[in-house]
Structure 1
Amino acid sequence: MLADTMGTKAVRSPSWKRIGSMREAGLIAIILALCVAMSFASPHFLTLGNFRAMLMSFSVEGIVVVGMTILLIVGGIDLAVGSVVCFAMVLSGSLFLAGLDPWSASLIGILASALIGCVMGFFVTVVGLNHFITSLAGMVIVRGLCLIITKGTPLSLFTLPPAFKAVGQGSFHGIPYVIIIFFAVVMLFDFLLRRATALRKVFYTGSNEKAALYSGIRTNHVKFWVTVLCSTLAGFAGVIYMSRFGAATPTFGVGMELNIIAAAVIGGASLNGGSGTILGAILGIALLSVVTSSLVLLNVSVYWQDMIKGCILLGAVSIDHFLHKRKAS
């Protein structure tokens, strides 16, 4: 019944009106305006090299943003994604240095990341803790595991075979494999989130968990598997980072969760659950990437950059709060 009602509303709403009201349209306008302004401010902005660098910089983070967006839609949040990315890197790197081939080591790293998601999902759905506290504890514990595995020393993986390095450093007809993988993940989960019945339950659970439960949706199962998905994608991103940089540092990914959450919220994912799109989240991280590139080209001190990003996040959360309040009234 709930799905039928939503489908009816979508049919009755004129397509031009839906496009005009999309948050994505506003983000595209802001990104284009920034690009135009920066084209006058710096001659180096509108260059193929700069755009390639921006795409490379947010492509791997974009994979993590996909999982975070789906988790935010269901009403959760994961503060441990940066630590999980690092954990996948150092575990896979350590196994490779111990003699395992990099493909098997990477698979184990991704599966171990999924296991972390299972543990956090257990504490959320069975024990009854909320996502914030659970993932906060997970962030500290997993970061500690990274330090234990590496003994605080970065791992140099220069002996990785060329075939594995090609995943993070190679290209196909001039297009880096990293960007191809990123777009493949985005298109897959954007399609599933819009079309697959299983992932549509994410919206129903996030919008009104009690109503979803009464309509027969096993909401705890939905929250559990979305938590696992978020950690798995973070682990996958960690393996790509390892391939790209040929190293694994135990402090990698510190503060990454700020960018990830900011991108998803800027893109329209509500902290109250029930709304958000993959496209919006990707536009959100693209906006942050454009801002970062602009600050660098304008020689803005690195000490100011985090503060500016924090202000952007605060603004996005404020907008989300007022929009949610307006819908509720």
Structure 2
Amino acid sequence: MAVEIKPAGRRGNIARMATLREAGLIAIILALCIAMSFASPHFLTWGNLRAMMMSFSIEGIVVVGMTILLIVGGIDLSVGSVVCFSMVVSGALFLSGLDPWTASLIGIAASALIGAVMGFFVTVVGLNHFITSLAAMVIVRGMCLVVTKGTPLSLFTLPPEFKALGQGSFRDIPYVILIFVMVVAIFDFLLRRATAFRKVFYTGSNEKAAQYSGIKTSHVKFWVTVLCSTLAGLAGVIYMARFGAATPTFGAGMELNIIAAAVIGGASLNGGSGTIFGAILGMALLSVVTSSLILLDVSVYWQDMIKGCILLAAVSIDHFLHSRKF
């Protein structure tokens, strides 16, 4: 007989906490924007705002997958390498004579395959996400170096209609932002409304109870891992179209920004909680902080330290909130 999961009380507290966190993030972002408008006359210019939105929109696509993976109780340290791998595979196939659209689809499919391999080791072999993705990060980065022989691929011969994916705009709104908004809208809706995605929360909240209720938690974790890598592959293709190149070292350290954004936005490292909207706010906050530090001419070394401190603060808050009884 199936056991019914009744996490309503706890989920209700988590939902209220997430709403408060999102409201707090919006207030912090607005306060930073107001302060920077006085500190630098360039901050609120359309050029700077457009650059910020373009930057966090592409990374935001990866954040969506990472957030869902964190909710299910996993983590993926390989997303930066997978983004690079998608660029490299797609670029190499294009240079070998394949059209860029087909090459990009193969690059995304290859990224999904990496997620499937990680999902296999997690759900069948029994390894945890951290170790599996750490190994994948190193292996995939090595594959990028092997494919390119350590030399960046110049892709300036990409056709204009493909470059428009990363550089073009519709009525002065970049296609990158439109794609990002579409991805966020789709997965935010699915995460809130779809029955299949509700299993993600149940698995992350209490895997044993989810199994007793009839949920195949191994299937849930497997497909969420594949989804995270697939979205990273999509981001890689967009980066390739934007920059017209595929560099084997691209994306190194990207996982720090991605995980930090998701955790700042309310995704728990313990699983079971998080929202797409909150994670995007976390990404926006990091983007505003980065832009502010650049405009204030702060050394890049200090920028990394500040981002690390923000991540540590977010993880500490997450630990404090989830150590309490709901």
TM-score range, shorter chain: over 0.9
Q: Which residue of 2 aligns with 1:311?
A: 309
Residues 322 and 7 of structure 1: CA distance in aligned 2, closer, same or farther (over 3 Å): closer
Q: CA deviation at 1:6?
A: 2.6
Instruction: State how far apart, in whole Å, the 1-side matches of 2:144 and 2:11 are.
Output: 48
Instruction: State how far apart, in whole Å, the 2-side matches of 1:220 and 1:325 are.
Output: 26
1:324 to 298, 322, 326: 322
Q: Which amino acid aligns with 2:159?
A: P
CA RMSD after TM alignment:
1.7
Instruction: State how far apart, in whole Å, the 2-side matches of 1:209 and 1:30 are.
Output: 35
Q: CA deviation at 1:23?
A: 1.2
Instruction: State how far apart, in whole Å, the 2-side matches of 1:246 and 1:66 are.
Output: 25
Q: CA deviation at 1:327?
A: 3.0
Q: Which residue of 2 aligns with 1:169?
A: 167
Q: CA deviation at 1:21?
A: 4.6
Q: Which residue of 2 aligns with 1:242?
A: 240
Q: Which amino acid aligns with 1:28?
A: I
Instruction: State how far apart, in whole Å, the 2-side matches of 1:5 and 1:300 are.
Output: 46
Residues 75 and 19 of structure 1: CA distance in aligned 2, closer, same or farther (over 3 Å): closer
Aligned pairs for 1:119-138 within 5 A: 119-138=117-136
Q: Which amino acid aligns with 2:74?
A: G
| Residue 179 (1) aligns with residue 177 (2) | yes
Q: Which residue of 2 aligns with 1:87?
A: 85
Indicate conservation of the 8 Å contact 1:79/1:135, yes or no: yes
Instruction: State how far apart, in whole Å, the 2-side matches of 1:272 and 1:30 are.
Output: 25
**SS of the residue aligned with 1:22?**
helix
Indicate conservation of the 8 Å contact 2:18/2:278, yes or no: no
Aligned pairs for 1:13-162 within 5 A: 18=16, 21-162=19-160
**Residue identity (%):** 83
CA deviation profile, 1:53-95 (whole Å, cap 9, x unmatched):
1101111000000000000000000000000000000000000
Q: CA deviation at 1:195?
A: 0.2
Indicate conservation of the 8 Å contact 2:5/2:210, yes or no: no
Q: Which amino acid aligns with 2:139?
A: I
CA deviation profile, 1:259-310 (whole Å, cap 9, x unmatched):
0000000000000000000000000000000000000111111111001000
2:296 to 295, 298, 322: 298
Q: CA deviation at 1:203?
A: 0.3
Q: Which residue of 2 aligns with 1:230?
A: 228
Instruction: State how far apart, in whole Å, the 1-side matches of 2:141 and 2:91 are.
Output: 15
1:6 to 8, 32, 36: 8
Q: Which residue of 2 aligns with 1:263?
A: 261
Instruction: State how far apart, in whole Å, the 1-side matches of 2:325 and 2:53 are.
Output: 35
Q: Which residue of 1 aligns with 2:283?
A: 285
Residues 9 and 147 of structure 1: CA distance in aligned 2, closer, same or farther (over 3 Å): closer
Gapped runs of 5+ residues in structure 1? none
**TM-score normalized by structure 2?**
0.96
Q: Which residue of 1 aligns with 2:212?
A: 214
Indicate conservation of the 8 Å contact 1:66/1:186, yes or no: yes
Residues 8 and 64 of structure 1: CA distance in aligned 2, closer, same or farther (over 3 Å): closer
Q: CA deviation at 1:192?
A: 0.3
Instruction: State how far apart, in whole Å, the 2-side matches of 1:239 and 1:321 are.
Output: 35
Instruction: State how far apart, in whole Å, the 2-side matches of 1:35 and 1:160 are.
Output: 37
Indicate conservation of the 8 Å contact 1:19/1:25, yes or no: no
Q: CA deviation at 1:43?
A: 1.1
Instruction: State how far apart, in whole Å, the 1-side matches of 2:17 and 2:73 are.
Output: 25
Instruction: State how far apart, in whole Å, the 2-side matches of 1:219 and 1:78 are.
Output: 18
**SS of the residue aligned with 2:47?**
helix
Indicate conservation of the 8 Å contact 2:18/2:266, yes or no: no
| Runs (4+) off by over 6 Å | none
